[in-house]
Amino acid sequence: MVRTALDQTAIELTNIQKSFGGVKALKNVSFKINKGEVVGLLGDNGAGKSTLVRCISGIHQPDSGEIKVNNQAVNIASPLDAREVGIETVFQDLAMVPEFDISANLFLNREIKHKNPILRALGWLDTKAMDKRAKKALNRLNSRIPSYKEAIHNLSGGQRQAVAIARAVNWGADIVIMDEPTAALGVEQSAQVNELINVISSQGVAVLLISHNMQHVVETCDRAVVLYQGQSVADVSISDVSKEDLVGLITGATTQAA
C-alpha cells in the first residue's frame, strides 16, 4: 500500500517539560507529526517515552511547553480532553473486557443509548446501532475478523490489536498513539498489525508508534524521534538511517545519525 504523508501538521509538541519531585522526566521535548505519517518514538527504559505519552493522552499534564493539534494550541488535562481533540491511545494492555464481544468493546464507556426515551431512561442500549457501527469500523480496516459478535477472548493477539485500533479510529481520531503493539505477537500477527497501521495512515491518521523492535520500526515508520535521558536527541527519516544507527542513538553511543 502506498502511503504519502500530507503536508499538514496533525500534532506538534514544543519544549515539553515534566518533573516528578527532583527528577526531570522530560526536558524540552519538541517534534511534530503530519497527517498520514507514522513516527516511531524510541528510547531505552527510563528515557521518558511513557511520561511523554501520558502527557499527550491526558494522564499527566506537562509542567511547561505547548501541544498543538491541527495547528491549534490545546490544554489536555484528562484522557477525555485528549479524545475530544482527536487523540486516541492504544495501550499495551489494550484495556478490553475479554468476555465481551467486539461490538461491546468498541463502545465500552461510550455506549449508544436507546432512541426510545422510556427505554433510554431504563438504561437500555441501542445494540443495533452499535453493531452497525462496529461492522463499519472493522470493514474500514479490512480486518480478518470473521464476526463483530465474536468474544474478545476467542481472538488472536493480532485480531485483538485490530479491535483496539478500530476502537480508536471509530471515534474520529486524527492521532493514534500505539504502545508496543507487536510486543507479544508472532511474525504473522505482527505483519497484520503493520498492515493495519498502513491502512489507517493511508486514511490520513497520524500514528505515534512506541516500539523496542527496530525491525518493526524500519518496516512501519516514516521517521523516528529518539529520547535519551528525557531529551529528544534525534528526529530522523527512516530512509536515512540503519537499525544500528537507531540503536546508537537510543543508547547514547552516537548523538546524530551517521
Q: What is the pLDDT of residues 10-60, one digit of tens each?
A: 999 999 999 999 899 999 999 999 999 999 999 998 899 999 999 999 999
HSE (side-chain half, CA atoms, 13 Å) at 136: 10
Phi-psi region of 125 (alpha: psi -120 to 50; beta: other; left: phi over 0): beta
Cα separation, 76 vs 78, whole angstroms: 6
> Could you read off the pLDDT of 82-124 as tens digits, one per residue?
989 999 988 776 677 888 888 888 887 777 788 878 877 877 8
Other CB atoms within a 10 A radius of the CB of residue 71 amount to 10
- Check residue 4 and give its pLDDT: 54
Cα–Cα distance list, 131 to 116, 212, 255, 256 (Å): 18, 36, 50, 49
pLDDT over 90 for what percent of the chain?
46
Give the pLDDT band (50/70/90) at residue 1: very low
pTM greater than 0.85 (yes/no): no
CATH number of 1-86+173-258: 3.40.50.300
Q: What are phi and psi of 33, to 5 degrees?
A: -130, 130
Length of the chain: 258
Q: Please report which helix (H) or strand (E) contains residue 257, including its range.
A: none
Domain ranges of the chain: 1-86+173-258, 99-172
